Structure 1
């Protein structure tokens, strides 16, 4: 069987870029045992294709773009995520008596995979298939909390548009929101995409990648600081359960 050397080199470069931190051309060439000129050409090709990004400083360093992470998310989402998550979502809805939703990322948005409505008369609601801005949805923020800083910088550089008067659009404030989500293990917010709705969400992490997020939405008047913390624990537990079951099925 013949091997296409350029494809083999590209996959090895991508694997090296997937490791934590930024990396330079010389480091990649040394680790791969490949000529520096060949690695440089491969990185420029991957950049042109949208898979790699260069970060310029005293020396140029390289990292993966969000495209690779999205590819992994789409793969996982198509492999039974909904069926794995549904029993856990039902338990979460029953425990909170609020609306529960499962989303995956698509470019700079999130797509609702499933939604289970609260049994209460006054409730939050989204439909499966609804598309929400990544930055203006609590589920999206939960996913962003798992991704490299470069992903966050790229998103901010495109501009954070407001969906409501409460949407966080200031770059520094938005970075603080994501930092807080990383520290807590879940994201939360009120009125970011829809006025009068408070949501809490946690990322579902499989193999080190945030493949989806699960959240709870409630009318804002029912939310309290104590309830937000309790719901945060609920969604983190649910996310870990789904990740464990889904990881076993891969």
Structure 2
């Protein structure tokens, strides 16, 4: 149990002081450097921690923490601002609506969902993660990030999930330009088969993407002629959430 307690204390310390080095944690806890390093590696392998992308000698919170935090998020201004607009959007289109937040350039994390009434519908578990380049939610965020961040993602390589996944750098850049022009992003089977979505970014006052709201549906109900309507509704919902959050 001592090792579990130590791991939790180190996890809490990283959350408080991130990005933090092994040396800083060693001084904080008075533990051998090897013990701290071993704990960090274990937490990294489990997804709780990750190396900072700009300075790999420093550690920060990873995607797994985001995946288990939705209950805590319920008291946040974002969650509170998003809930009612998401319900109204669901009522307008009768498709699944989900709220996702970015974990840096690592992934998108689903933090809330409002289900539709269809017997056949898409399902996104709270805490589900997905890649930025292959999803509507991810590209809605990427379209509003600095170009340097986009290029960093491209340098890592774009994983192919099926034949429709955008894996060419210029193809992705073109899609992001379209997202900025349209105000919303579209995914048709580019990540999960038979799953489509239309998403828009929720921006803060400086234009930084905090989250996304998306309409998700099976491919059998995807109708390209409805895209302008769905895109408008999703974009308006994102703007309403941003406004409600700013006024909170």
Counterpart position of 1:206: 204
Give 1:113 shift. Answer: 0.7
Give 1:232 shift. Answer: 0.4
> How do 1:187-206 and structure 2 match up within 5 A?
187-206=185-204
Within the candidate set 166, 177, 180, 2:178 is matched to: 180
Give 1:235 shift. Answer: 0.4
1:101 and 1:115 in contact (8 A); partners too = yes
Give 1:49 shift. Answer: 8.5
Question: Per the alignment, in what secondary structure is the counterpart of residue 190 of structure 2?
Answer: coil
> Is 1:87–2:91 an aligned residue pair?
no
Whole-angstrom distance in 2 between the partners of 1:193 and 1:118 = 21
Give 1:79 shift. Answer: 3.1
Whole-angstrom distance in 1 between the partners of 2:78 and 2:246 = 10
Counterpart position of 1:50: 54
Give 1:227 shift. Answer: 1.1
Give 1:80 shift. Answer: 2.6
Whole-angstrom distance in 1 between the partners of 2:212 and 2:145 = 13
- Structure 1 unmatched runs, 5+: 1-47, 52-66, 68-73
> Is 1:236–2:235 an aligned residue pair?
yes
> Is 1:140–2:138 an aligned residue pair?
yes
Whole-angstrom distance in 1 between the partners of 2:53 and 2:186 = 35
Give 1:164 shift. Answer: 2.6
Counterpart position of 2:100: 103
Whole-angstrom distance in 2 between the partners of 1:130 and 1:82 = 17
Give 1:89 shift. Answer: 0.5
Give 1:125 shift. Answer: 1.1
Whole-angstrom distance in 2 between the partners of 1:235 and 1:123 = 18
Whole-angstrom distance in 2 between the partners of 1:240 and 1:151 = 23
- TM-score, structure 2 length as denominator? 0.69
1:137 and 1:193 in contact (8 A); partners too = yes
Give 1:204 shift. Answer: 0.4
Whole-angstrom distance in 2 between the partners of 1:135 and 1:209 = 18
Give 1:116 shift. Answer: 1.3
- The number of residues matched between the two structures is 181
Question: Per the alignment, in what secondary structure is the counterpart of residue 192 of structure 1?
Answer: coil
Write the deviation string for residues 37-79 of structure 1: whole angstroms up to 9, x where unpaired: xxxxxxxxxxx9828xxxxxxxxxxxxxxx9xxxxxx9xx783
Question: Per the alignment, in what secondary structure is the counterpart of residue 178 of structure 1?
Answer: helix
Counterpart position of 1:222: 221
Counterpart position of 1:246: 245
1:118 and 1:124 in contact (8 A); partners too = no
- TM-score, structure 1 length as denominator? 0.68
Give 1:99 shift. Answer: 0.5
Whole-angstrom distance in 1 between the partners of 2:202 and 2:89 = 14
Query: Which portions of structure 1, spanning 4 or more consecutive aligned residues, are displaced by more than 6 angstroms?
Result: none
